[in-house]
């Protein structure tokens, strides 16, 4: 047991030493203001590079992504229908669909699905 603790300690010490050496060696010593400024074909930028975006569009995109992942979780349920117990498949499917519908109702109730408001 002592050998396991000893080897673990040696591994941690070696890992920390390597991380410290790599952190020390990878830092840039000189930071130039011109190198850190944005470059636009040799000229100064005409406008701000960070354009504002609609937060509503971002929320709708996130909701779409969530429901897209949920559809990919629903598709295998159809393929395993004949290979598993009917009652357990039905219970899991109904539970999953109920959770999805409750989530959709909550988003609708909170107004997250209203685009123009």
> Could you list the residue range(s) of the whole structural domain that residue 90 is in?
56-110
Tokens of 42: 């040799």
Q: Quick check: is 29 in a domain?
A: no
Asked if residue 31 is part of any domain, the answer here is: no
Q: Which of 60, 70, 42, 52 is nearest to 112 (CA)?
A: 60
25 within some domain: no
In the numeric block, which tokens belong to residue 76?
């295998």
What is the count of structural domains for the chain? Answer: 1
Round to whole Å and give the CA distance between 94 and 88: 10
Give the 3-state secondary structure of residue 14.
helix
Given a cut of 80, whether residue 50 has pLDDT beyond it is no
Mean pLDDT, rounded, for 29-49: 62
Does the residue 99 lie in any domain?
A: yes
Within a domain: 40: no
Q: Is residue 69 part of a domain?
A: yes
Task: Tell me the pTM.
Answer: 0.48
The pLDDT > 70 percentage for the chain reads: 77
- Answer whether residue 39 shows pLDDT above 80: no
Helix (H, G, I), strand (E, B) or coil at 1: coil
- Can you say whether residue 52 is alpha, beta or left, with left for phi > 0 and alpha for psi between -120 and 50 degrees? beta
With bands split at pLDDT 50, 70 and 90, how would you rate the model's confidence at 95?
very high
Per-residue pLDDT, 8: 94
* Rounded average pLDDT over 64-82: 84
Residue 45 tokens, joined: 């930028």
Contact 84, 91 (CB under 8 A): no
């Amino acid at each position: 047991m002592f050998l396991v603790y000893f080897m673990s300690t040696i591994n941690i010490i070696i890992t920390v030493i390597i991380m410290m050496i790599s952190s020390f060696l990878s830092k840039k010593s000189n930071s130039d203001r011109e190198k850190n400024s944005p470059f636009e074909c040799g000229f100064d930028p005409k406008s701000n590079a960070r354009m504002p975006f609609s937060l509503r569009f971002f929320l709708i995109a996130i909701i779409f992504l969530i429901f897209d992942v949920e559809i990919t979780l629903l598709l295998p349920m159809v393929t395993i229908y004949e290979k598993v117990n009917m009652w357990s498949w039905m219970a899991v499917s109904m539970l999953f669909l109920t959770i999805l519908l409750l989530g959709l109702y909550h988003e609708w109730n909170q107004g997250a699905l209203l685009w123009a408001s």
